[in-house]
Amino acid sequence: MRVPKPLAIAGFHFCVTIFVGLCLYGLLRYLNEGLLQTDSLFEMASYSIVVIASIVGFCFFGREADLRKAEEIRNAVPAPPPSLRKKNKSND
């Protein structure tokens, strides 16, 4: 699946934001309630699924952004060697 670079970057940032938000939520919840509050199996499963999906998402979108950047570099016009640049400047 080919994803455009802007969409890959946006998807990467979205997945990282979700992951960091869930981590902070878990940390703040732990600091406020400690281990006294127990989650149901459904809550634990839903948190786990969202965390795993966000990790998969930022791996996928990060790889796609890297591939688009590599394509840009591969298709870029190469710069002239330094010796030619000096000769062109002396002619001006």
Phi, psi of 80, rounded to the nearest 5 degrees = -65, 155
56 pLDDT more than 90: yes
Rounded CA separation 63/5 (Å):
10
Binning pLDDT at 50, 70 and 90, where does residue 21 land? very high
SS3 content of the chain, % helix, strand, coil (to 5): 80, 0, 20
pLDDT of res. 52: 93
pTM: 0.70
pLDDT of res. 91: 58
Q: What is the mean pLDDT of the chain?
A: 83
Binning pLDDT at 50, 70 and 90, where does residue 87 land? low
Rounded CA separation 42/67 (Å):
37
Handedness of CA 55, 60, 63, 65 (dihedral sign): negative
Mean pLDDT score, 47-67: 91
DSSP H or E run through 56: helix 41-75
Mean pLDDT score, 58-82: 86
